């Protein structure tokens, strides 16, 4: 019989700040309670926030990245992306953008044209994923995934997952990764329950964006922006939603290499 993963703690966001003039974010990690989730370096939760119509797109002007990947998941609102590799696109609700900076990219991220003009609710997540030293100088890569590209997996009554990266119940996500990584986007109705299996040895975490879920019958995440790291031992994770909930599940094989960071 498979063993359940242990919840190592429940932590809230340690900072709430603006990135540019378009992204009011809460940083869930790195934080006072969560400092090591290799290969995941950072998770920012932007919103939920309301923006009024504007004739000027809000966001972040050109800035550089190198040596890692950014994963942007849209729930509400949209982002227009443009980078020095000639890639561009709009990330609409349900879409995912996986940008590999690797040897270096300069890009800008601003509210989408239609969203800027009409205004509305904005809600996004951005995750930074480290690259092993052997791949840090690889050629940059851009993966734009539409909502229709991302498969759904039923987890139990009132609960399903979108498989963005990795594999869940033999269903593979569309993202191409350099190391073994699982990224699942879960939706649970109030009273919904779900069961999933994560690899032994992976660093993993349950990230509650909003709602209320009980993990493995004992630990409760409630409200907005909480993260629960899990043990590397065990496989099984059981979720029970006490309210309609939006959850991310992350797991990845640790890279176990030194990380030098600036500006986190």
Residue 1 has a pLDDT of: 61
Nearest alpha-carbon partner for 25 in 15, 40, 33, 11:
15
Residue 243 has a pLDDT of: 98
CA distance 15 to 183: 23
- CB–CB of 244/188 below 8 Å? yes
Residue 158 has a pLDDT of: 98
| pTM of this structure | 0.94
- CB–CB of 249/207 below 8 Å? yes
Residue 4 has a pLDDT of: 97
- CB–CB of 188/213 below 8 Å? yes
Residue 264 has a pLDDT of: 47
Domains of the chain are 11-252 (2.60.120.10)
Strands 40-51 and 59-65: unpaired
- CB–CB of 47/26 below 8 Å? no
Q: Which residue has the tokens 């099984």?
A: 236
| Cα radius of gyration rounded to whole Å, the chain | 18
| C-alpha dist (Å) from residue 45 to 2, 69, 72, 126, 137 | 32, 16, 10, 7, 28
Q: What is the pLDDT along the chain (264 residues), one digit of tens a residue?
A: 689 999 999 999 877 899 999 999 999 999 877 877 999 999 999 989 999 999 999 999 988 889 999 999 999 999 998 888 888 889 999 999 999 988 999 989 999 999 999 999 999 999 999 999 999 999 999 999 999 999 999 999 999 999 999 999 999 999 999 999 999 999 999 999 999 999 999 999 999 999 999 999 999 999 999 999 999 999 999 999 999 999 999 999 999 777 665 554
């Amino acid at each position: 019989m498979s063993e359940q993963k242990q919840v190592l703690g429940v932590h809230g966001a340690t900072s709430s700040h603006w990135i540019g003039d378009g992204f009011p974010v809460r940083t869930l990690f790195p934080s006072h309670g969560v400092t090591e989730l290799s290969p995941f370096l950072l998770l920012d939760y932007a919103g939920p926030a309301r923006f009024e119509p504007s004739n000027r797109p809000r966001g972040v002007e050109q800035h550089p990245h190198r040596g890692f990947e950014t994963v942007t998941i849209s729930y509400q609102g949209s982002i227009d992306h443009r980078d020095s590799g000639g890639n561009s696109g709009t990330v609409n609700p349900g879409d995912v953008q996986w940008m590999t900076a690797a040897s270096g990219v300069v890009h800008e991220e601003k509210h989408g044209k239609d969203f800027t003009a009409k205004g509305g609710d904005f809600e996004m997540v951005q995750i930074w994923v480290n690259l092993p030293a052997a791949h840090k100088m690889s050629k940059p890569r851009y993966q734009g995934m539409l909502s229709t590209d991302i498969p759904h997996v039923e987890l139990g009554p009132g609960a399903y997952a979108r498989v963005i990266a990795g594999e869940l119940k033999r269903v593979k996500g569309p993202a191409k990764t350099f190391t073994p990584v699982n990224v699942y986007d879960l939706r649970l109705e109030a009273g919904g329950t779900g069961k999933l299996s994560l690899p032994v040895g992976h660093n993993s975490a349950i990230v509650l964006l909003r709602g209320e879920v009980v993990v493995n019958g004992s630990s409760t995440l409630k409200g907005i922006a909480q993260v629960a790291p899990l043990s590397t031992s065990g496989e099984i994770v059981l979720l029970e939603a006490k309210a309609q909930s939006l959850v991310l599940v992350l797991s990845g094989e640790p890279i176990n290499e030194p990380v030098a960071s600036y500006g986190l």
